[in-house]
Amino acid sequence: MILLFLGTMALSLFASWKVRSAYNRYSQVRASSGYTGAEIAQRILDLNNIRDVTIHSTPGHLTDHYDPSNRRLVLSEENYHGTSVAALGVSAHECGHAIQHKQLYGPLQWRMAAVGITSIASQIVMWVPIIGMVFGFFPYNLVITVMAIGFGILMLFQLVTLPVEFDATARAKKVLAGTGAVAQGEEFRAMSKVLDAAALTYVAAFVSTLGYFLYYLLQMTGARSSDE
Ligand SMILES: [Zn+2]
């Protein structure tokens, strides 16, 4: 358990360090097209005939996201105003989600449908061990089973997130190359490094939850067989 905890911790720290260092480095590389993140986002939405999505800026570092329920494309201030290859890459990636939403892209639909149950599952896996430890009134087998189900739900959610993120990044690269917003060669390679590093954080999140899920699943089958 300690090994699993340390291993997944190291993996997610590594992934977030990687994305931060790629971003910090390539947010210094200005795209020669001169677009800001907000401008390229508007251009991509227009190209895809998306009229009902609004673009907003928000404080914070790498706080960029697409909010499907309110159809808001939210960019961090530095990407909204920024003209770096990193800013254009992140903005185009978020547009990729808006395009997925418009096209009713399957994995995005599943992901949206699973948000409610996933937030319940993440509360459960956080509180059940604490309550169990403090009060100790849950039978061990029940705790293990609940944890396995909770992490199973989280794992499936992270799994569905992977195609959603990879697809948004593929769309971003295609449209940035197509519009010439990011020039071929050095600029394109730099932009790709930022988006690929960001994709790695989702892989790390999936691997971590998979690890916890398998751990509890093994405990569960172990507990069962020792009963018999
Ligand atoms: Zn994304």
Q: What pLDDT shows up at residue 224? A: 63
pLDDT in tens, 97-149: 999 999 999 999 999 999 999 999 999 999 988 887 777 777 888 888 999 99
pLDDT in tens, 149-192: 999 999 999 999 999 999 999 999 999 999 999 999 999 999 99
Q: Is the pLDDT of residue 210 over 90?
A: yes
Q: Is the pLDDT of residue 58 over 60?
A: yes
> What residues sit around ligand 1, an ion, with C-beta below 5 angstroms?
165, 168
Q: Is the pLDDT of residue 223 over 70?
A: no
- Expressed in angstroms and rounded, the spacing between residue 173 Cα and the centre of ligand 1 is 13
- Expressed in angstroms and rounded, the spacing between residue 181 Cα and the centre of ligand 1 is 19
- Expressed in angstroms and rounded, the spacing between residue 184 Cα and the centre of ligand 1 is 23
SS3 assignment for the chain: CHHHHHHHHHHHHHHHHHHHHHHHHHCCCECCCCCCHHHHHHHHHHHCCCCCCEEEEECCCCCCEEECCCCEEEEEHHHHHCCEHHHHHHHHHHHHHHHHHHCCCHHHHHHHHHHHHHHHHHHHHHHHHHHHHHHCCCCHHHHHHHHHHHHHHHHHHHHHHHHHHHHHHHHHHHHHHHHCCCCCCHHHHHHHHHHHHHHHHHHHHHHHHHHHHHHHHHHHHHHHHHHC
Q: What pLDDT shows up at residue 225? A: 64
Q: What pLDDT shows up at residue 133? A: 73
- Mean of the per-residue pLDDT values for the chain? 93
94 is a catalytic site residue: yes
Q: Could you give the strand order of the β-sheet that contains 54-58, starting from the edge strand earlier in sequence?
A: 54-58, 72-76, 65-67
7-21, 64-78, 213-227: least confident range: 213-227
CB hemisphere CA count around 145 (13 angstroms): 7
Q: What pLDDT shows up at residue 226? A: 58
Q: What pLDDT shows up at residue 134? A: 75
- Expressed in angstroms and rounded, the spacing between residue 124 Cα and the centre of ligand 1 is 25
Give which of 48, 49, 41 is closest to 65, Cα–Cα.
41
Mean pLDDT of 27-37: 95
Q: Which of 78, 94, 165, 187 is flagged as catalytic?
A: 94
For the chain, what are the domain ranges? 2-227
